[in-house]
Structure 1
């Protein structure tokens, strides 16, 4: 049988004040086109359908329509809640979409109550799919433990309890069925795409790859926005996001995974790129240089670092030359001397600069964690 594995749609995302609804519509229809072209039997959507827990009616309509299109032709569709999703909202969808054959899981359930989905694929294989929606650390680490234990102990408690939940849902896997696991969260060692802003990533609440048993043919993960395979006893993959959600992800290639699997044999996985999302690009140069490169930038969203002396209306001039410019920054070499002196001493430095200085001094991943801070800062400050 064939599976389309996708996750982290983040419908409703606003980038620097620009809505992306039309962009998301184009990307999701492209994804539907892949499902049709590959004639997949199952679609796994591993969380974060929405960017916020209170999606607009427009965003909800787009997601539900896409799920219904994915269901056409008798394909099975399995959807679970991610950390950005409102689990209770997905539970409202559950009976309605369930009547249409779309399996929706907002909350953890026992195997016989929806935690283990069983069906026969169109190709004839019996399938068992263990579904583990995002598990908040607040539901795992109790208040008393937060006070008495260290951060490392909190992480261990989370991983241990997640592992017990996964074991309960996968213990019924047998050798004559296609055995699948799907969940949303962090595996240690995974490369962040740049846009994962949640504390569960920053503070390392994770589960271990040992949660996925060797009896599984495939584990479909969501949460990290970079498409990647993780080590484990069975094939474990993050599908990545089909759209770059912020400038920290401009080097990611959006896409999905096509998985071919049969009972008793590890899955074969193939990456499929998606092209409908706008490119996110950082460009640097003088006004003349920016004007010269404008024709080659197409309709990309831009972060512009302008190498010109500061003056009134400079940002407006940049946006006239580059209509896709969402963020305009002054190159450090052209900042006033007084500003550079304050920055050199730390006085008057912005929070982004100070965080990056701290990360560099402490040996942390400046690029990844700096991008996380940028997104959090943008969310808080608007």
Structure 2
């Protein structure tokens, strides 16, 4: 049988306040096309369908339409909640999704209560068992353990042991002569980060060794880390990575889905299918003139720009006009002197405001006479006798007389 492994869609994600809705729609359409062209038996989506636990209506519409389009290809569609998703909301919509032929799971469940999704592969007639494990924080791992026994689990043992016990329970739903799979959203110890994950929910006590899955699964489909990679383990353990780079830290990742072919008696064969409809993220360096000369080269790529010259008034605005896809513009650190401030308060008190401002500009390598002139003009306005916040002399004299005191004639 054949299935697609994908994860970490992050629908609703923005980048530097730039909406990526159209880009996300194009990439999801590409995944749907692949599922249709490959005539896969199932699509496994291993968590982080949304960017936030409270997605916008626009994001929800896109996601639901994508899930239904995948189901319309004839494939089984199974999706679990990741750490960005709101698992309880997934559970609330689970019955409705099930009517549409989509398995959507937000919380860990017992084998006999949805923890094992079983279907018959349309292409081969083989039985397929998918053990599903949505994201579990350390806080809720103990709560999930209570599903496995009639008595509350003891607040003891490490997170990896708790997940090991849950996975061991889920594997009791595996059957001989079937394709037995695991899908989970978690961090495997020693795996490489993609660059855009939530670090607090990816490291330390949230990591588990790949050995927790044992040797029984034919394939383990993981989500959470955004870089495509496989992990050494007794069975095939794979991250497919995110279908688009969610931040500039992921600009060098290759976006893809994994096509997996496997039978009850043969090892899983994994084929990487690149995704091409997402916009490239690039970090570029150059002087103002050099960057403008390369504008055509950048095309529709989203840019993080480092300017290789000192800052000046209007530089950022001019670059944004010339490079509308520049989402972040900075002065190259090589052109920014280290900030060194005198520890002597007395010395600072002896300097004029203009001298202090000049020193600040020097620290930031801003050498622009227009900026100095603007500061001088603003300083003059706020400190002059008739500047903003200053009362006219007559008003000040009247106020100083106090209430009820007659004006003295000159």
Name the TM tier (shorter chain): 0.7 to 0.9
Report the counterpart of residue 15 of structure 1 in structure 2. 15
Deviation at 1:205, TM superposition (A): 1.1
Relative to the length of structure 2, the TM-score reads 0.78
Deviation at 1:175, TM superposition (A): 3.0
Per-residue CA distance 1:28-76 (angstroms, 9 max, x = gap): 0011011111111100000000000000011011001000011114211
- Please say which of residues 200-209 and 35-44 is displaced more in the overlay: 200-209
Cα distance change on mapping 1:155 and 1:273 into 2, 3 Å: farther
Using CA pairs below 8 Å that are at least 6 residues apart, which structure has the higher relative contact order?
1
Asked if the contact 2:187–2:203 (Cα under 8 Å) also holds between the matched residues in 1, the reply is no
Report the counterpart of residue 140 of structure 2 in structure 1. 139
RMSD: 1.6
Per-residue CA distance 1:246-267 (angstroms, 9 max, x = gap): 0000000111100001013221
Are residues 1:330 and 2:321 paired?
Answer: no
Report the counterpart of residue 44 of structure 1 in structure 2. 44
Output the CA distance in 2 between the equivalents of 1:156 and 1:237. Answer: 26
1:116-265 equivalent positions in 2, closer than 5 A: 116-123=116-123, 124-140=125-141, 157-265=158-266
Per-residue CA distance 1:349-370 (angstroms, 9 max, x = gap): xxxxxxxxxxxxxxxxxxxxxx
Output the CA distance in 2 between the equivalents of 1:156 and 1:288. Answer: 60
Output the CA distance in 2 between the equivalents of 1:264 and 1:161. Answer: 30
Asked if the contact 1:186–1:204 (Cα under 8 Å) also holds between the matched residues in 2, the reply is no
Relative to the length of structure 1, the TM-score reads 0.83
Output the CA distance in 1 between the equivalents of 2:75 and 2:305. Answer: 44
Report the counterpart of residue 290 of structure 1 in structure 2. 291
Per-residue CA distance 1:186-218 (angstroms, 9 max, x = gap): 001111010002412143511221221322110
Report the counterpart of residue 108 of structure 1 in structure 2. 108
Output the CA distance in 2 between the equivalents of 1:241 and 1:91. Answer: 24
Deviation at 1:174, TM superposition (A): 3.0
Are residues 1:70 and 2:70 paired?
Answer: yes
Output the CA distance in 1 between the equivalents of 2:129 and 2:214. Answer: 13
Paired residues, number? 329
Asked if the contact 2:48–2:82 (Cα under 8 Å) also holds between the matched residues in 1, the reply is yes
Which protein is bigger by CA-based radius of gyration? 2
Output the CA distance in 2 between the equivalents of 1:155 and 1:251. Answer: 41
Asked if the contact 1:234–1:266 (Cα under 8 Å) also holds between the matched residues in 2, the reply is no
Output the CA distance in 2 between the equivalents of 1:155 and 1:312. Answer: 60
Deviation at 1:171, TM superposition (A): 2.1
Asked if the contact 2:8–2:46 (Cα under 8 Å) also holds between the matched residues in 1, the reply is yes
The answer for unaligned runs of 5 or more in structure 2 is 144-154, 342-410
Cα distance change on mapping 1:17 and 1:156 into 2, 3 Å: farther
Per-residue CA distance 1:198-246 (angstroms, 9 max, x = gap): 4121435112212213221100000000011111111110010001000
Report the counterpart of residue 26 of structure 2 in structure 1. 26
Report the counterpart of residue 151 of structure 1 in structure 2. none
Asked if the contact 1:217–1:264 (Cα under 8 Å) also holds between the matched residues in 2, the reply is no
Deviation at 1:309, TM superposition (A): 1.8
The answer for unaligned runs of 5 or more in structure 1 is 143-153, 343-382
SS at match of 1:74: coil
Asked if the contact 2:305–2:329 (Cα under 8 Å) also holds between the matched residues in 1, the reply is yes
Deviation at 1:340, TM superposition (A): 4.1
Cα distance change on mapping 1:291 and 1:73 into 2, 3 Å: closer
